[in-house]
Amino acid sequence: MTDAAPRLDVVCMGETLVDFLPAESGRRVREVSSWSPGIGGSLANVSVGLARLGARSGLVSVLGSDEFGHFLRDHLAAEGVDVSHVRQTNEARTGLVFISLDARGERSFTYFRTRSAEFLLGEQDVDPDFLGRTRVLHWGSNSLHLSEARVAMQRAVEQVREAGRIVSCDPNLRLHAWADPREPKGILARMLPLCTVVKLSEEEMPVVTDTADPRGALEALSRLGILLPVVTLGEKGAAFLWRGEVVHVPAPAVRVVDTTGAGDGFVAGLLYGLTRRYADARALREATRESLTELVTFACVMGSRVVERLGAVAGLSRAAEVTQHMPADLRPR
C-alpha cells in the first residue's frame, strides 16, 4: 500500500442478495400480491449503512452475471459503496429472498439461494492491497458453505488481524440453510477467536455460546479472546462486556413495522463510531466504558430506526438524520 492509496473505514465481506419486500404485511408469501426488489444480505446492508453515515465502505462479494446481479451492483454503487471487489460470475445466479411479515413486523424468509453466486467466494476475491487499506474487516458466516470460501474468509481475517486492525463479525446465522447445523458452529469456533468485535443476537447466543443468558454469552465470547463482545436484545437494547463489567444500553421506543435488518443497522452504527474513535485494535484496547457506552447507544438508535420502515435498507439513516443522536466527535463537519 502506498501513502497515496485512498483509505477505507470498513470492508464488508460475505453475502449480497436481492430482498423482495411484500406489498402487504400479515400475509404468507403465497398470499402477497406484489413485491419490490431491494438490496439485501447482511454484509451489503452494513456497507450501505456505513456509506450513508459518511464512512468509506467497501464490499467483497460474488454475484451472478444476471439482471439481479447488475441490479445489486448498480444500487450499491449508487449508495457510495466501493464495489470494485464485487465479482460477477456466469457459474451461478444471484441469490434471492422473499420476505413476509406478520402483524408485529416479525419476518419469515423464503430463499432462492441453494447454489447462489455468494457461495463462490474464493482466493481470487482476497486482495491483500484492498484489505490493507481498511481500518476494519467485517464478515458473516452465511456464505461459507464451501471449503474454498472458508479458506478465503480465514485468509482475509488473518491478514487484517495480523496488521493490527479491527476484525468484526456478526454471524447472522441462518441454520436452516445448512445441511448440517454443526458446520457453522465449527466455523465460528475456529474463526471467532480471531475477531476483535463480535455481535450476537438473542437467538444466536445459545447456538454460539451454549447459553441464552446475556452475561453468560458475553463472558463466553470474552474467554475466546474477543476484546469487545456485544449482544443485541431487541426492544431491550443491547449489552457489552468491558474489562469484566457487563454494561446494558436501552433501545429507543419505536413503532415496529419490520424487524428485518435491525441488527445490520446496529452494526453499521457501532462500526462507524469505532472507526471515528479508534485507529486500530491497539487503540480500541485503551477505550473507556463511557466511550463505548456512547457508541453502543448510538448503534441502538441506528438499529431502532431500521424497524420503523419496511425492509433492511430503507430505514438505514443518513448522518444528517441522526446528528442529534451522535456524540459530538462523530458528527459530520
Q: Which domains does the chain have, with CATH numbers?
A: 8-330 (3.40.1190.20)
C-alpha cell at 273: 463510531
pLDDT in tens, 74-89: 999 999 999 999 999 9
Q: What pLDDT, on the 0 to 100 scale, is given for residue 1?
A: 40
Q: What pLDDT, on the 0 to 100 scale, is given for residue 2?
A: 41
pLDDT in tens, 96-128: 999 887 766 666 788 898 889 999 999 999 999
pLDDT in tens, 256-302: 888 889 999 999 999 999 999 999 999 999 999 999 999 999 999 99
List helix spans (H) across the chain. 42-53, 67-78, 128-131, 147-162, 182-191, 205-209, 214-223, 262-277, 281-285, 289-306, 319-322
What average pLDDT does range 126-137 have in this prediction?
Answer: 97
> pLDDT at residue 31 above 90?
no
C-alpha cell at 200: 450476537
Q: How large is the angle between the packed helices 182-191 and 147-162, nearest 10 degrees?
A: 20
> pLDDT at residue 5 above 60?
no
Percent of the chain topping pLDDT 90? 83
For residue 246, count other CB atoms closer than 10 A to its CB.
14
The DSSP 8-state label assigned to residue 319 in this structure reads H
What is the residue type of 269?
Answer: G
What average pLDDT does range 5-19 have in this prediction?
Answer: 90
Record the pTM. Answer: 0.95
What average pLDDT does range 122-149 have in this prediction?
Answer: 96
Q: What pLDDT, on the 0 to 100 scale, is given for residue 333?
A: 76
What average pLDDT does range 296-315 have in this prediction?
Answer: 94
Mean pLDDT, the chain, integer: 94
pLDDT in tens, 156-199: 999 999 999 999 999 999 888 888 888 999 999 999 999 999 99
Q: What pLDDT, on the 0 to 100 scale, is given for residue 178?
A: 87
